[in-house]
A and B are shown apart, each in its own frame.
Chain A
Amino acid sequence: MTERNQADGASGADQPLIRLDGVNKWFGPLHVLRDINLSVNRGEVVVVIGPSGSGKSTLCRTINRLETINSGTITFDGRPLPAEGRALARLRSEVGMVFQSFNLFAHKTILENVTLGPIKVRKEKPESARQRALALLDRVGIANQADKYPAQLSGGQQQRAAIARALAMQPKAMLFDEPTSALDPEMVGEVLEVMTSLAAEGMTMVVVTHEMGFARHAANRVIFMADGQLVEDAPPAEFFTNPRSERAKDFLSKVLTH
């Protein structure tokens, strides 16, 4: 169904970091993921695009099992996803996730948001967690907001804090579920900048987005989804200049002409 372009594993390990085999999911009668096969190698940046309702967010959320699947298998770092319980919690701690609506813990300061995982999940000492958190906040450019509450920050700042929170767990991969879709236009850039620098440092990333510019310059591969199917899988230059399917041509003609 799809052509796979396997980039070489960046860190030497040959097996893909994330692998989906024959994944199907239904929401009631709605078949939202149809027989998805996908693998993401270490260090690869895969951007998932497609029309609304195509299943791209659901696909992203199945990778850390925020959505369960009905059939197929998902393996992360060589192990199949655990069903529930502590093993699943451990896996999730190794996969960073950034949400469309930021989802910073509303009753905790920005600093507490970033240190919570390291302290409670990794049992890191509070002082060392704090130092690392401040460094991460500095890196995403909001060190001076550390003691504020999420509601006091702009959307762009909140999303950068959310990225810092995910990075504090030192994840093996990062999932971005439409990270800029809820932002005012002038704040999109600051979030994409952080994501671009992460990509450049070799972080394995799966990014669901409508930002075609980001897909063009930061992605190793672009996945195009429609109606729950993985329709195309190609390097960005190839996908944007020469899409093979009618669905992708149609989609691109609508998003790129404006």
Chain B
Amino acid sequence: MDVFSDPRNLDATVSGFLWILKLTGASAVLALVLGVLLAAMRVSPIPVLRLFGAAWVNIFRNTPLTLIIFFCYFGLYSTLGLTLSEDLVRNIYWLGVVGLSTYTAAFVCEAVRSGINTVPPGQAEAARAIGLTFAQTLRIVVLPQAGRAVVAPLGSILIALCKNSTIVGTIGLMESSSVMKDLINSYGNAGILIFAVFAGVFALLLIPTGYFFGWLANRLAVRR
């Protein structure tokens, strides 16, 4: 009895990885937008915004992701009644996206902020000297250069996000690791094989991702 020759098991596996990709995709976009905004807040001249950015990073970067995902389900949904979709599974998916992007945004923020530190202060001075406002200076001169400097670390964050998205399985989404657990429960003697297949698919997805970001970082590097 071969685990993966049963089409139902194969479907479950494919669908599990599709959930991982969907979680990663939506959370990556949200975390990137949110993380850049948070980084902008942390370097802004307005103390309230700086405080908000710092609080976000310190709270969510130092809380275990499992806790954050649990809070999204038991806190936001069960207790506070936040429903993001009428469909039960979709609802869990979106709650997971909220948790993952909240958490990942803190890391994106810190990567972007370190990128901002690689941009020589003269760049922002020159921008201000021709009359650009603070927001324009950040958007047109500083962030594009900071972003190029942090392509590789952002790649690492994306890879971590992809693997972290398996934690949404703990609130009931049938993503890859939940499927794996079910399969191992049913096919105990094929445990090592099942494990190797799931780990192999992650490797297959993520190793090229890492090389792609390395290549992109070189290509986009700002010459000084």
Contacts and interface: CB of A to CB of B under 8 A. Distances in A.
A149 B148 CA distance: 15
A162 B132 CA distance: 16
Interface string A65-88: 010000000000000000011100
Interface residues of B, number: 22
Contacts of B132: 89, 117, 120-121
Chain A to chain B: the 10 pairs with minimum beta-carbon distance, closest first: A93-B131, A103-B126, A117-B130, A151-B223, A103-B122, A97-B129, A121-B131, A92-B131, A89-B131, A106-B222
Interface of A: 64, 66, 84-86, 89-97, 99, 101, 103-107, 116-117, 120-121, 149, 151-152, 162, 165-166, 169
Interface stretch (B33-41, B85-93, B138-146, B152-160): B138-146
A151 B217 CA distance: 18
Contacts of B131: 89-94, 117, 121, 169
A107 B148 contact: yes
Given A66-B128, A91-B131, A162-B126, 6 more contacts: A89-B131, A97-B126, A103-B122, A103-B125, A120-B140, A121-B131
Interface string B21-62: 000000000000000000000000100000000000000000
The listed residue with most A CB atoms (<10 A of its CB), out of B129, B144, B224, is: B129
B12 interface: no
A89 B148 CA distance: 27
15 contacts: A86-B133, A89-B131, A90-B131, A91-B131, A92-B128, A93-B130, A94-B131, A97-B126, A101-B122, A105-B126, A107-B144, A107-B148, A117-B131, A151-B223, A169-B130
Interface in B79-133: 120, 122-123, 125-133
Given A90-B131, A169-B131, A105 B125 contact: no
Interface in B178-224: 222-224
B109 to A, nearest CB: 21
Contacts of A106: 123, 145, 222-224
A92 B224 CA distance: 25
Contact of B127 (A85, A86, A105): A105
B126 A99 contact: yes
B136 interface: yes
Contacts of B144: 107
A151 to B, nearest CB: 4
A219 B130 CA distance: 25
A246 B145 CA distance: 48
Nearest to B147: A107
A99 B122 CA distance: 8
A91 B125 CA distance: 14
Nearest to A122: B131
Nearest to A169: B130
Nearest to A118: B130
Contacts of A86: 133
Contacts of B129: 64, 66, 92, 95-97, 99, 166
Given A106-B145, A106-B222, A116 B123 contact: no
B61 to A, nearest CB: 29
A117 B126 CA distance: 10
Nearest to A101: B122
A92 B145 CA distance: 23
Contacts of B125: 66, 99, 103
A149 B130 contact: no
Contact of A120 (B122, B136, B224): B136
Nearest to B133: A89
B84 to A, nearest CB: 38
Contacts of B128: 66, 89, 92
A121 B130 contact: yes
A104 B126 CA distance: 7
Contacts of A162: 126
Nearest to A66: B125
B6 to A, nearest CB: 53
Contacts of B120: 101, 103
A86 B135 CA distance: 11
Contact of A116 (B45, B130, B133): B130
Contacts of A151: 223-224
A106 B140 CA distance: 12
A66 B132 CA distance: 13
B136 A105 contact: no
Nearest to A151: B223
Nearest to B45: A84
